[in-house]
């Protein structure tokens, strides 16, 4: 794989305690951090839902729990919505 070692280590760390949707969200946030698209400063729950083909409410309800597990963190706001990045 071409992912940096730290990305692979973080993915391994999360495998044991994140559900399928949480893993999708985490991997998306990791990907935007590494590849530096226009969302490199973070993504809103709507950005994540759109990119992952998920319902916004399904994404939104998982973000705080993922934050408590310290796998993602807040990185400011855009349009009144929190920007999330992989921790």
Q: Which helix or strand (DSSP H or E) is residue 50 part of?
A: helix 45-52
Please state whether the predicted TM-score (pTM) of the whole model is above 0.85: no
Q: Which DSSP symbol is given to 40?
A: T
Q: Which helix or strand (DSSP H or E) is residue 25 part of?
A: helix 20-35
**Mean pLDDT in residue range 63-76:** 94
pLDDT tens profile 26-67: 989 988 877 766 667 899 999 999 999 999 999 999 999 999
């Amino acid at each position: 794989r071409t992912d940096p070692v730290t990305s692979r280590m973080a993915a391994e760390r999360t495998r044991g305690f994140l559900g399928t949707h949480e893993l999708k969200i985490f991997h998306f946030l990791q990907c935007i951090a590494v590849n530096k698209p226009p969302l490199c400063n973070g993504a809103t729950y709507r950005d994540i839902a759109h990119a992952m083909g998920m319902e916004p409410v399904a994404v939104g309800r998982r973000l705080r729990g993922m934050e408590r597990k310290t796998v993602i963190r807040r990185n400011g706001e855009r349009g009144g919505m929190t920007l999330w990045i992989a921790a």
